[in-house]
Amino acid sequence: MTASPIKHSAANISMQSSKQYGYPDNSQKPYYDRKPMSVTEEELHYVPQNHQDLHYLSSDDNSQRGSIPPQKPSQEQYCTLESSLAPPVCTKQNSPPSSVSFSSSSGSPHSQQDSQSDNTYGSPISVSCITEDPHDLKNKLREIETAMLGPDSDNIVNSFETSFASHLSLEPEKWKQVLEIPKGDLKQVLIACARAMAEEDFFVVEWLMSELRPMVSVSGEPIQRLGAYLLEGLVARRASSGSSIYKALKCKEPTSSDLLSYMHILYEACPYFKFAYMSANGAIAEALKGENMVHIIDFQLAQGTQWVSLIQALAARPGGPPRVKITGIDDSVSAYARGGGLNLVGHRLSRLAESCNVPFEFNAAAMSGCEVEREHLAVRPGEALAVNFPFMLHHMPDESVSTANHRDRLLRLVKSLNPKVVTLVEQESNTNTAPFFPRFLETLDYYTAIFESIDVTLPREHKDRISVEQHCLARDIVNIIACEGPERVERHELYGKWRARFMMAGFKPYPLSSLVNATIKTLLQSYCTSYSLEERDGVLYLGWLDRPLAVSCAWR
């Protein structure tokens, strides 16, 4: 997640409760797709082979989440975010007299009143046009493009005419399939739009985008809010082809203090992330038991608050605390969220250690994980080493992106240090090498669970909820949907793939603490019974209902 929005005080939680919390038996059922949908054999080939536990297009008659009637969007204008893929295109608009007008408004969902006079995603072509005379429709298309792009738009107009001509010969069943999407079924319209995008059926893409705009809202139901950001990702992806315009209202970046506040709110609203950190702390404390010189290398330090409880626990060790050194690695994005460099975290942890009478040393490595080399880690002989990978390895490009393959390089580097334990906390999602369409389905599934869980702990009327989702989740969603190659930095993998990488680097599994895991089960129940926890082969899966969202594991 961007700037590690979920890494905060993972250990200031009491561990005294003894109640047990069970995990539902239906963990293998698909999460989001609650309505039946026809699937062709060709479409089934989109599904990643290593993600057999997600059958995207099955149904569950016990849920109505799949069909939510469109709600009237809020009358307040909300911008979402500026596309992280390409800068907004600003085009001089010399609009001729026409019933269609355009403005430089955001690609974000907006009020119904604005939507009647504002085209932000491209050419919303009414489906009724397909029954009109082809020459008339060509002229209308030319008028629309001229209004959007000005008089120098022949190339783009020609591309639309070519697209239109090809669709005149489409078989009737193709249009029937598009037109029979259930009215008001936002999830199915999103899927249909993504499928058309994957098939480069841009005529249908443009039409479906015009259908989606009034259906999404950053202040609506979970699926409407998620739909707003998915739609923005689709628009950004469409614009990258050069065939249409992506206009966005550039949102002012939040101040560092505001962003930190948003990340803390999200962290508290999504306890599955917080407890994943807690399980990692438990594994580190157990592996370093009895050591006199402790060195923790944190590959994404963020605020450093994950280590507050560990320092306090080491201070209470019988026989006195060990010497503790923490090497913090972090990039400029997290520095912005902190409002300063790693020295701020170092001073804070030093003061804490001093108050606990723990000998402490801090080593700052202000750089991306791709830049880290052995000499940056300041490892000395005699130190008991623990390494922490918290929601950061999925940002490292692997063999599918770069021959450098920093994802596996870092694991081999860490293995050469002979650590006592290595902890991995990651999002349980499959978006790394998946083609666009199954990646869209996976993103829809994963973030549907997150947005629904936020509704339980963060009331709809919470004044900062829109900002929390916009600044902590939306940019990641757009990056997954709209970017390819090195520009796509959100590249999640399932635990099975991480396990293969660790094993190839020479690691062996290190079981997590059963005591800590039992405590986490109890604490999750205090939030909501819909949160789930499952322990399999020493690995902890935390999630919402039957959808795993975070995985925590340890290696040595």
Q: Name, in order, each residue with C-beta under 8 angstroms of 24's C-beta and a sequence gap of 6 or more.
A: 532, 545, 546
Calpha distance 48→28 (Å, rounded): 16
CA R_g for the chain = 25
Give alpha helix (H) positions in 150-292.
Answer: 154-168, 172-179, 186-198, 202-212, 222-239, 256-269, 271-287
Calpha distance 279→292 (Å, rounded): 23
In the chain, count H helices and then E strands.
19, 8
Calpha distance 44→207 (Å, rounded): 25
Give alpha helix (H) positions in 339-405.
Answer: 342-355
Predicted pLDDT of residue 459: 81
Predicted pLDDT of residue 342: 86
Calpha distance 312→291 (Å, rounded): 16
Domains belonging to the chain, first-starting first, are: 155-252+433-488 (no CATH), 265-428+492-555 (3.40.50.150)
Predicted pLDDT of residue 518: 86
End-to-end CA distance of the chain: 26
Q: Name, in order, each residue with C-beta under 8 angstroms of 337's C-beta and a sequence gap of 6 or more.
A: 3, 4, 256, 259, 260, 263, 302
Predicted pLDDT of residue 291: 94
Predicted pLDDT of residue 419: 97
> Which residue from 302, 301, 307, 352 is spatially nearest to 328, judged by alpha carbons?
301
Predicted pLDDT of residue 405: 93
- The label of the residue with tokens 């010497």 reads 323
Would you write out the chain's pLDDT as a tens digit for each of its 556 residues? 554 444 444 334 333 333 333 333 444 344 444 443 444 444 433 333 333 333 333 334 444 444 444 444 443 433 444 433 333 333 334 433 333 333 333 343 433 333 333 333 333 333 334 444 555 655 655 565 555 445 544 554 455 445 544 554 444 445 545 556 777 789 999 999 999 999 999 999 999 999 999 999 999 999 999 999 999 999 999 887 322 322 332 334 566 666 667 777 887 888 888 888 889 999 999 999 989 999 999 999 888 888 998 999 999 998 899 999 999 998 766 666 666 778 888 999 999 999 999 999 999 999 989 999 999 999 999 999 999 999 999 999 999 998 999 999 999 999 999 999 999 999 999 999 999 999 999 999 999 999 999 988 888 878 888 888 988 898 889 989 999 988 888 999 999 999 999 999 999 999 888 888 888 888 887 888 889 999 988 899 999 999 999 999 999 9
For the whole model, what pTM was predicted? 0.69
- Please return the burial class of 107, using the count of CB atoms within 10 Å of its CB with bins 0-12, 13-18 and 19+: buried
Give the up-direction half-sphere exposure of residue 261: CA atoms within 13 A in the CB hemisphere.
10
Using one digit for the tens of pLDDT, what is the confidence trace for 167-195? 544 444 455 455 567 777 899 999 999 99
Taken in order 173, 175, 178, 184, the sign of the CA dihedral is negative
| Chain-centre distance for alpha carbon 154 | 38
Using one digit for the tens of pLDDT, what is the confidence trace for 317-347? 988 999 999 999 987 666 666 667 788 889 9
